[in-house]
Amino acid sequence: MWSRVLLAGAGLAAAAAIALPLSASAEPAPPPPAVPDVNALPLVSPVEYSVMNDRYFAFGTADGLTCAFDRTSGAYGCSGPIPAAPGGANVVSGGAFGAPGFTSAAQPIFQNLGPVKQLPPNTRMSFRTVSCTTDGVATTMCVNAQDQTGFVLTPSGSFVLSSNPLLERPEGTNPYAN
């Protein structure tokens, strides 16, 4: 009888010891905000934004960024006063594959492009698998449909979209079915 009581007591103590650290743990970090479907926005003709003898498609934003697509390599990015950029970065760029990254440059990297045309708010410019948009105030984003990477630049926080839902997903889930 006592052995059952002791065993039950030990089991309750073990359960309490396990439950206590779980209840004291911090809340998980909130997920990044949902990114709107950039490809649902009206498309502008990138030809109208061609610069440097058609080597680049480039556009400006209302908050002073210059964004460009390199027509040769498929690279894309924005430079200028990036709002709430990690480490005070003034450049964000990516290639045809993989997540983009933030960095700083001593001089604007797209200064040789010359004057660029402003992209109208809530429209998109696309080249290959990358589409970019701006809200005409202070938010700019680019998304690469190839691997679902890209970036969001906004005063409340600028960040990189770096996960590929086909590769990084909860175990047992199917990316092709909801």
HEC readout, 111-170: HHHCCCCECCCCCEEEECCEEEEECCCCCEEEEECCCCEEEEECCCCCEEECCCCCCCCC
Q: Where are the domains of the chain?
A: 38-161
pLDDT tens-digit readout, 39-97: 999 999 999 999 999 999 999 999 999 999 999 999 999 999 999 999 999 999 999 98
pLDDT tens-digit readout, 1-35: 434 433 334 343 433 333 444 444 556 655 555 67
